[in-house]
Amino acid sequence: MKILVTGGAGFIGSNVADGFIAQGHRVVVADNLSSGYARNVPEKAVFYQLDIVDAGLEEAFRKERPEVVVHHAAQIDVRKSVEDPMYDARVNVIGSLNVIQQCLRHGVKKIIYASTGGAVYGEPEYLPADERHPIRPLCQYGVTKHTVEHYLYLYRHHYGLDYTVLRYPNVYGPRQDPLGEAGVVAIFTEALMHGRRPTIYGDGSHTRDYVFVGDIVAANILALQRGSGMILNLGWGQEISVNQIFATLKKDLSSDVEPIYGAERLGEIHRICLDSGRAREVLGWRPEVDLEQGIGRTVQYYRQHPDQMSST
């Protein structure tokens, strides 16, 4: 089938696009390259450099007529969402509405939407958080990502546009940008490879659910045919602290560098991990790459691609 991947030049989106191509699908990528890179776009994909908030998106839909849209394009930085909530809403809400409207106008059968499990629940009442957990985001990013879930429900109810929402955990792996996409694995890797001390905000006890990007790709492939009208958490259901991430990377890189501890940042929750039991039942999905394996693969990638480190 023909699949349009918005944000397909970014870290997760480009890996997902690669996965679809490996399955024999035809892929179209739309990305404004604000945080993604042209080098990430698969050679076999058709590429449109455009912004999802702009009218030019319609031309890509009209020309390509995708059957499925996998929507990753977003403003994803929690700090930026706090500092500039208007921009965050413009991209994540207005941009997503533009994508949804184009899907409706051009006969798209389904949207797979990359949402967030790390930001919509707020400080959890229980762990691991499942999809029934109250929605209480503590940052503007979580609010805007959740808002789109409501629009998807509405458009399916009124117009029959199918969807699957995948609520992502903290995703890491090859192509993650140490500057642009603000994942601690990439940030710490970049710093340690260059002998610099990275900053840990807070005391390092904050926990997240870390899933290797290859497992996220697998979930997207499964969602092409499954999960109609559903919201699905992805995760291990295990809390991993920032200090644990740093220690694992330090060991893998044989580094003696120590971190700097700074003040906590507004909008960041303290603990989260996600119950993915529904994804296991509906998609037949479960994560397979554990933290040590995933970090090993990530470090190997950056050793082979030093040009993708921000200091070079």
Token pair for residue 241? Answer: 């602290």
Instruction: Kindly tell me if the per-residue pLDDT of 15 is higher than 70.
Output: yes
For residues 224 and 200, the answer to whether their CB atoms sit within 8 Å is no
Residue 131 DSSP class: T
Instruction: Kindly tell me if the per-residue pLDDT of 308 is higher than 60.
Output: yes
Mean pLDDT value across residues 162-179: 94
Instruction: Give residue 78's pLDDT band: very low, low, confident or very high (50, 70, 90).
Output: confident
Distance between terminal CA atoms of the chain?
39
Residues 6+ apart with CB under 8 A from 251: none
Question: Omega of the bond prior to 128 within 30 degrees of 0, cis?
Answer: yes
Would 281 be classed as within a structural domain? no
Token pair for residue 89? Answer: 């809403």
Would 60 be classed as within a structural domain? yes
Instruction: Give residue 268's pLDDT band: very low, low, confident or very high (50, 70, 90).
Output: confident
Co-location of 152 and 46 in the same domain: yes
Q: Backbone phi, then psi, for 233, in 5-degree steps?
A: -75, 145
Co-location of 253 and 303 in the same domain: yes
Tens of pLDDT, residue by residue over 184-240, are: 999 999 999 999 999 999 999 999 999 999 999 999 999 999 999 999 999 999 999
Co-location of 101 and 183 in the same domain: no
Tens of pLDDT, residue by residue over 19-71, are: 999 999 999 999 999 989 999 999 999 999 999 999 899 999 999 999 999 99
Q: What is the pTM of this model?
A: 0.96
Would 280 be classed as within a structural domain? no
> What is the average pLDDT value for the chain, to the nearest integer?
95
% pLDDT > 90, the chain: 91
Degrees, nearest 5: CA angle 77-233-115 = 35
Is 141 labeled as catalytic in the residue annotation?
yes
Site of tokens 């776009």: 41
Give the residue numbers spanning the domain of 95: 2-171+211-233
Amino acid 181: pLDDT: 46
| CATH classification at residue 301 | 3.90.25.10
Q: Is 200 exposed, middle or buried (0-12, 13-18, 19+ CB in 10 A)?
A: buried
Grouping H, G, I as helix, E, B as strand and the rest as coil, residue 300 is helix
Instruction: Give residue 179's pLDDT band: very low, low, confident or very high (50, 70, 90).
Output: low
Co-location of 165 and 298 in the same domain: no
Instruction: Kindly tell me if the per-residue pLDDT of 312 is higher than 80.
Output: no
| CATH classification at residue 26 | 3.40.50.720
- Give the residue among 78, 85, 50 at the shortest CA–CA distance from 64: 50
Residues recorded for the chain: 312
Co-location of 150 and 11 in the same domain: yes
Tell which phi-psi region holds residue 229, choosing left (phi > 0), alpha (psi between -120 and 50) or beta: left
Q: Is 292 exposed, middle or buried (0-12, 13-18, 19+ CB in 10 A)?
A: exposed
- Using alpha carbons, list the distances in angstroms from residue 294 to 44, 152, 170, 218: 26, 32, 13, 15
Token pair for residue 148? Answer: 């789109």
Distance CA 3, CA 45 (A): 10
Catalytic residue among 48, 113, 121, 141: 141
Co-location of 149 and 182 in the same domain: no
For residues 31 and 8, the answer to whether their CB atoms sit within 8 Å is yes
Co-location of 111 and 184 in the same domain: no
Token pair for residue 159? Answer: 């117009």
Co-location of 194 and 217 in the same domain: no
Co-location of 66 and 194 in the same domain: no
Co-location of 220 and 94 in the same domain: yes
Instruction: Give residue 311's pLDDT band: very low, low, confident or very high (50, 70, 90).
Output: very low
Q: How crowded is the C-beta side of 258, counted as CA atoms within 13 Å?
A: 2
Partners of 6 in the beta sheet?
Answer: 30, 71
Distance CA 157, CA 86 (A): 28
Amino acid 64: pLDDT: 98
Site of tokens 């996600």: 274
Tens of pLDDT, residue by residue over 82-123, are: 899 999 999 999 999 999 999 999 999 999 999 999 999 999
% pLDDT > 70, the chain: 97
Co-location of 126 and 64 in the same domain: yes
Q: Backbone phi, then psi, for 102, in 5-degree steps?
A: -65, -35
Instruction: Kindly tell me if the per-residue pLDDT of 267 is higher than 90.
Output: no
Instruction: Give residue 182's pLDDT band: very low, low, confident or very high (50, 70, 90).
Output: low
Q: How many domains does the chain have?
A: 2
For residues 218 and 286, the answer to whether their CB atoms sit within 8 Å is no
Amino acid 310: pLDDT: 56
- Give the residue among 181, 178, 180, 212 at the shortest CA–CA distance from 198: 178
